Structure 1
Amino acid sequence: MYTVVLLSGGKGNRMQESKPKQYLLLAGKPMIMHSLERIDRLPEINEIVIVCDPLYRDVIKQMVKEYNITTKIILVDAGEIRQESVYNGLKVVSNEYVIIHEAARPFVKEGEFQALIDDSESNVIYGYDISYTVLKGNDFVSGVLNRSELINVQLPQKFKVSELIAAHDIAIKHGDIYTEDASLMFANSDQKIKIVRGTSYNIKITEPIDLLLGEIIYKDYIINRK
């Protein structure tokens, strides 16, 4: 069996809204519920750990009840940064394997979660080819990256819990901060991490324009391409 750690602790300041983006409506329902409903339909997942701001615990409980989510839900407090939030979630996982996902990525289909579960490798992530030129630099260009060697890292991601926690422990010991867990594990372990090709529809809702695009993606990709 599998646990999903669903990250829902972001403040969403760039959305310029009164509440975090993951609780805004997308296609008529709170964004977080798009992921929760699909995860809830997968029989191999018997536990969902939602990492959230304590202020939104009651909001999530009400949503879970309203949308009839039957999978066991565990609520955990978010940390100050994403890395701390993941670690907090991992500490309460009861299964050998975990799938990490973000509530702000509402366009992942059930089949994409299932593909991670069915993959024989222990650590598997989604990545999408980068189609644009990427330069290094701040005020001035300092280098050119070869886009054929790069991927746009996406979620969900599957990991063996013990291996990911061990990598987190090393990162904490060194005081290193990472923005997602594949890079953290790569830098702090010798474990293989398999890349599965994702899709361009799997965007993260970050800014107001993403929410507008999200309505289009939902109608075209989720409804029309089931």
Structure 2
Amino acid sequence: MKYYAIIVAGGSGNRMQTEIPKQFLLLKNLPVLMHTIKAFAQSDAQPKILLVLNKDQQGYWKRLCEEFNFRVPHEVIDGGTERFYSVKNALNFINEECIVAIHDAVRPLVSKALIDNCFKEAVLQGNVIAAVQSSDSVRMLQENKTSALKRDEIYLVQTPQTFNDRVLKEAYQQDYSPYFTDDANVVEAIGEDIHIINGERNNIKITFPIDLELAELLLRS
């Protein structure tokens, strides 16, 4: 079986309150994005790594790779105006039957075990997404009224989200919708059931300044 990893790095630094896009911020003396790519390179699956990056940021990324002597093999692909188009651009580079994992560039603490488990289960089930059960009480707001949801039925979705390439390519032939917040939404829209496996609490997404501080603490421990 062939394996691919699409690393989506389209984020800006807006919520981080910094001009530097969050995937390039330093985490334990290495840009966040490099931690993420290394995690996939160290997995047993040894996927081909496709990095989807805004065209305007590719020169900066190249300079960072030289500065940090980063030599992990990966292909850089132009990002789109939305995540949907970025993933679609990457899929156009895949011309063989395979299992494809799609991962947020700013989830640098993903473990080798989770990556390999996602690939393994996607082979068996056709698709899997990593998710963790909510540990908080959850309420839904509709028309200015709130209602409680059953906490044990709520899952917080992470990445990797891993799929058979045939189904994934079919799903990405659809027209873009703003409701496509992740790849599972896109695949579900063509009638596919989505399977969940246990994610990891440490697999945090670097979105706010506190997230970077937490990631530093987790790496030290």
TM-score by length of 1: 0.87
Quick check: 1:211 aligned with 2:212? yes
Instruction: State the secondary structure of the residue aligned to 2:107.
Output: coil
Q: Aligned partners of 2:205, 2:88: CA distance in 1, in Å? A: 21
Letter aligned with residue 165 of structure 2: V
Q: Aligned partners of 1:110, 1:82: CA distance in 2, in Å? A: 24
Distance 1:9 1:60, change over 3 A: same
Other-structure match for 1:158: 162
Instruction: State the secondary structure of the residue aligned to 1:117.
Output: helix
TM-aligned CA deviation for residue 141 of structure 1:
2.7
Letter aligned with residue 218 of structure 2: I
Quick check: 1:68 aligned with 2:79? no
Letter aligned with residue 174 of structure 2: I
TM-score by length of 2: 0.89
Quick check: 1:88 aligned with 2:92? no
TM-aligned CA deviation for residue 177 of structure 1:
3.1
Instruction: State the secondary structure of the residue aligned to 1:211.
Output: helix
Q: Aligned partners of 1:123, 1:63: CA distance in 2, in Å? A: 34
Distance 1:208 1:138, change over 3 A: farther
Moved more, 53-62 or 194-203: 53-62
TM-aligned CA deviation for residue 216 of structure 1:
0.9
The correspondence of residues 47-58 of structure 1 with structure 2, limited to 5 A, is 47-58=48-59
Query: Identical aligned pairs, as a percentage?
Result: 31
Other-structure match for 2:181: 179
Q: Could you give the per-residue CA deviations for residues 92-142 of structure 1, whole angstroms, max 9, x where no partner exists?
A: 123422110111001101121111222222201111000112212268333
Quick check: 1:141 aligned with 2:161? no
Indicate if the aligned counterparts of 1:4 and 1:45 stay in contact, CA closer than 8 A: no
The correspondence of residues 30-41 of structure 1 with structure 2, limited to 5 A, is 30-41=31-42
Q: Aligned partners of 1:52, 1:164: CA distance in 2, in Å? A: 20
Quick check: 1:114 aligned with 2:96? no
Instruction: State the secondary structure of the residue aligned to 1:87.
Output: helix
Other-structure match for 2:194: 193
Other-structure match for 2:104: 102
Gaps of 5+ in 1: 221-226
Q: Aligned partners of 2:210, 2:142: CA distance in 1, in Å? A: 25
Q: Aligned partners of 1:150, 1:193: CA distance in 2, in Å? A: 14
CA RMSD in angstroms comes to 1.9
TM-aligned CA deviation for residue 184 of structure 1:
2.2
| Structure showing the higher helix proportion among its residues | 1
How many aligned residue pairs are there? 215
Distance 1:28 1:7, change over 3 A: same
Indicate if the aligned counterparts of 2:13 and 2:19 stay in contact, CA closer than 8 A: no
